[in-house]
Amino acid sequence: METATGTPTHCCFCAMQCAMQLHPDGTVRPLPHPISGGKLCVLGLTSGELLGHAERLRTPLVRKGGRLEPASWEEALEVAVQGFRHIAAEHGKSANAVYGGGSLSNEKAYLLGKFARLALGTPHVDYNGRYCMSAAAAAQNRALGLDRGLNRPLADLPQHDVILLAGSNAAECLPMLMPHLQRAKEGGTRFIVVDPRRTTTANLATLHLAPRPGTDLALANSLLYLLARDQRLDYGFIAEHTQGLEEALEAVQGCTAAWAAEVCGLMPHEIEQAAELLAGARKALVLTGRGADQNSRGVATSLAFINLALALGAGFGTLTGQANGQGGREMGQKADQLPGYRDVEDPADRRAVARVWGIEPEQLPGKGLSAFEILQAIARGEIRGMLVMGSNPIPSSPRSDWVREALARMEHLVVIDSFLSETARHARVVLPGALWSEEDGTTTNLEGRVVLRRAVRPPLEGARGDQEILCALAAGLGAGQYFDYSRPKDVYDELRRATRGAKADYYGITWERLEAGEELFWPCPSEDHPGTPRPFTQRFAHADGRARFSPTPFRPSAEAPTTHHPLYLTTGRVLYHYLTGNHTRRLGRLFKKCSEPLLEVHPETAQRLGLAEGAVAEVSSQRASARFRVKHNPRIRSDTLFVPFHWDGSQAVNRLTNPVLDPICQMPEFKVAAVSLARAEDGPAKVSQEASCITP
Ligand SMILES: Nc1nc2c(c(=O)[nH]1)N[C@H]1C(S)=C(S)[C@@H](COP(=O)(O)OP(=O)(O)OC[C@H]3O[C@@H](n4cnc5c(=O)[nH]c(N)nc54)[C@H](O)[C@@H]3O)O[C@H]1N2
Ligand SMILES: Nc1nc2c(c(=O)[nH]1)N[C@H]1C(S)=C(S)[C@@H](COP(=O)(O)OP(=O)(O)OC[C@H]3O[C@@H](n4cnc5c(=O)[nH]c(N)nc54)[C@H](O)[C@@H]3O)O[C@H]1N2
Ligand code: SF4
Ligand SMILES: [Mo]
């Protein structure tokens, strides 16, 4: 309810979804809530400054004579619609695509999937979650029958006496998770943290393992081997709740500590010590972050960690990243999915969604291309039109120079965003959309809890709500009858019906229950159902109730250091910036704390190459070279460099990363590339503002 101090809502940034009171003037106050205990991190506290930010887009832009020029809404929508129509007429409907994002509310994600399939009639709809949760999600679906991220409330974390955190830097990336983990530590929980850097998060650890980037699969396999060798598995749990252990054990034969130490660049006793800690646990929990799974073996690596958890009778969870990274991956903006985590190729699922949409199942396109494959199809000229909403794929995709070139050349790129992103700078049409706080909506946080984010005011003058924009585009494309909503609640009510009876069943989570402040986790099949905070308490989600072990033989990353490229490059995040930085680089308080991507180098490596702190170094991979200022970090492996990916143009570290994809989920290898490092004579290049673009 709105009060003089603002409206209760939730943060726009990470998947914690902390509760806040937001005033239309941008003032933010934390609110007491089970997620965040009445606190916010620096990102949440700063988020209000986005509302009236001077760089907000206030008018549509249309490219004319090579430049983006201000245009009326009428003209911009017309150009956008006619472009898609023309491409469909000339090259078929599949020559258009849609690219969404995990920051979008459930309603927007749902509408975007429906827009692709009904208004454009294309199978090609995918989103940035492909780069984020696709490996962990595919693994959880395969092994546990259901992907619901953490699959337990945050309040349960202290119940575990050993927690293995593989590839998560929660202290910077999910800051308000830290009080929950600290509480666990104070209660006696011992942490094993696996990260090539000894991060602030690793300060929690009883044992910190710093493997070479991309080798978690070897480590997880070895831990399973050691525990099985010593007969320290939970055989009762395995017999009652799982199947397939034999095959999984066969695949890890010979994964001794000595072998894994060699592969991972660790000492054998460190791996033995991790096994010992896990074996001694009363109730362990294995948690993965993007460090472990953003590679071309992401699914296998996640499955290997799940094998380990199942073998110990322990819990497994993965830490979702984006604000609505969980809801965003189950609302049908993914190439293989319909709302409710339904399968786009399953006849019963197709019938269920077609009924709610008022169409015949045959009208629903089938499975489309995944995010990076869409970009590849654009480069080949097969996809010519694309709507981007909630993502900035140029700097967030691997090999981004090549992506930039492909998107800049494509016939018809339409971007809906509230700030001019690098991708928008290359668009044909830019439509100024709303911020999270300008439209009502729901999100689903990393626990699987659905929260209501209330609008604190209407969209800024000149901008429009994303829902209104999508519905106008759909109407222009002749599909207006399927997009007749007056407010987000109408979309939510339809979404509840579309997910009814599906894996991710939101039917019982009514808007009214959320308004009344009920704590609700999906699945929730009816209005009198309490929701499901702990989906695996009694049984796993496969028909027989059993979880599946999977064989996960080791495979190395696509690139390993060579004479020419002797170091590993890994990438990730810093506290003060969010994803491609299109929001946070514009927030003065954050930018002052961190104004450029710093290259983390071990002091020994730096000294060998004559790189003083603050010097500029050139990092080169097979794809490109880029210059960054050096920061000495004695807590990173000496064979590994780390660069955050929050910048665009020439400062985008993704210019260097390897676009090789995981064969199962199409996750790129963001965390492993082979690079060389040398001193550079002049400073880091400034962000390129393309000559063909204007900032109105
Ligand atoms: N401040 C801030 N918070 C964020 C975000 C942000 O951009 N900024 N983004 C949000 C999103 S979308 C996500 S997905 C989450 C991501 O949250 P995290 O997964 O915690 O973030 P990353 O920094 O990508 O990676 C985590 C750690 O993995 C380590 N790492 C690198 N390579 C490897 C490896 O091969 N193995 C292992 N075990 N570790 C490795 C890195 O050193 C890093 O410390 O954060 C969310 N929260
Ligand atoms: N090298 C490297 N690359 C990575 C990663 C990594 O660790 N290393 N991590 C990957 C991960 S985990 C992720 S999640 C991706 C993220 O990659 P992107 O999705 O490309 O990143 P964002 O910066 O979040 O882009 C979101 C855009 O949508 C806009 N936006 C936000 N909310 C809304 C909304 O409600 N409506 C509209 N219309 N627009 C909105 C923002 O202004 C922004 O321009 O990057 C991936 N890329
Ligand atoms: S922890 Fe995440 S959701 Fe909470 S305030 Fe910080 S960025 Fe926002
Ligand atoms: Mo992410």
Residue the block writes with tokens 């760089």: 55
**CA dist 151 to 523, 532, 583, Å?**
11, 9, 30
Cβ of 621 closer than 6 Å to ligand 2, yes or no, is no
* DSSP assigned state of 322: B
Contact 622, 655 (CB under 8 A): no
The CA-based angle 130-593-601, given to 5 degrees, is: 70
Residue the block writes with tokens 């939101």: 506
Flag whether pLDDT at 187 surpasses 80: yes
What does the alpha-carbon distance between residue 657 and residue 597 come to, in Å, rounded to a whole number? Answer: 15
Burial call 292-303: b when 16+ CB within 10 Å, e when fewer: bbbbbbbbbbbb
Tokens of residue 181, six digits: 């983990």
Q: How far is the CA of 574 from the centre of ligand 1 (A)?
A: 9
Q: Which of 174, 449, 578 to mutate to test the pocket of ligand 3 (most atoms within 8 A of CB)?
A: 174
**Residue closest to 53 by CA, chosen among 598, 401, 437:** 437
Which domains are seen in the chain, by residue range? 7-50 (2.20.25), 61-131+324-521 (3.40.50.740), 134-318 (3.40.228.10), 567-693 (2.40.40.20)
**CA dist 483 to 225, 458, 490, Å?**
54, 20, 10
Nearest CA, atom 11, ligand 1 = 321
DSSP strand pairing (61-64 vs 28-30): unpaired
Q: How far is the CA of 134 from the centre of ligand 4 (A)?
A: 10
Query: What string of H, E and C letters represents the secondary structure of 144-157?
Result: HCCCCCCCCCHHHH
Flag whether pLDDT at 189 surpasses 60: yes
- pLDDT at position 693 is 32
511-546 confidence digits (pLDDT tens): 999 999 999 999 999 999 999 999 999 999 999 999
**Residue closest to 397 by CA, chosen among 86, 4, 146, 126:** 126
Flag whether pLDDT at 627 surpasses 80: yes
- pLDDT at position 1 is 65
What H or E segment, with its residue span, contains residue 354? Answer: helix 347-357
- pLDDT at position 5 is 81
Burial of 478 (0-12, 13-18, 19+ CB in 10 A): exposed
**CA dist 13 to 273, 293, 435, 583, Å?**
37, 21, 11, 10
What does the alpha-carbon distance between residue 424 and residue 426 come to, in Å, rounded to a whole number? Answer: 5
**Quick one: how far is CA 79 from the chain centroid?**
31
pLDDT category at 685 given cuts 50, 70, 90 is low
Q: How far is the CA of 283 from the centre of ligand 1 (A)?
A: 26
pLDDT category at 695 given cuts 50, 70, 90 is very low
What H or E segment, with its residue span, contains residue 628? Answer: strand 625-632
pLDDT category at 622 given cuts 50, 70, 90 is very high
- pLDDT at position 684 is 59
Beta strands in 329-475 (DSSP E): 337-338, 342-343, 385-389, 412-417, 429-432, 441-444, 449-453
What does the alpha-carbon distance between residue 378 and residue 370 come to, in Å, rounded to a whole number? Answer: 12
Q: How far is the CA of 203 from the centre of ligand 3 (A)?
A: 20
Share of the chain above pLDDT 70, in %: 98
- pLDDT at position 689 is 40
* DSSP assigned state of 6: B
Q: Which of 17, 103, 334, 646 to mutate to test the pocket of ligand 2 (most atoms within 8 A of CB)?
A: 103
3-state helix, strand, coil in the chain (%, to 5): 35, 20, 45
- pLDDT at position 482 is 98
First to last CA, the chain: 36
Tokens of residue 377, six digits: 């199809």
Q: Mean pLDDT across the stretch 445-450?
A: 98
The CA-based angle 363-369-371, given to 5 degrees, is: 125
Ligand 3 pocket (Cβ < 6 Å) reads 11, 13-14, 16-18, 36, 40-41, 43-44, 174-176
**Quick one: how far is CA 210 from the chain centroid?**
23
Q: How far is the CA of 17 from the centre of ligand 4 (A)?
A: 14
33-54 confidence digits (pLDDT tens): 999 999 999 999 999 999 999 9
Q: Mean pLDDT across the stretch 206-220?
A: 98
Contact 446, 150 (CB under 8 A): yes
547-567 confidence digits (pLDDT tens): 999 999 999 999 999 999 999
Tokens of residue 507, six digits: 């039917």
Q: Report the chain's mean pLDDT, rounded to a whole number.
A: 96
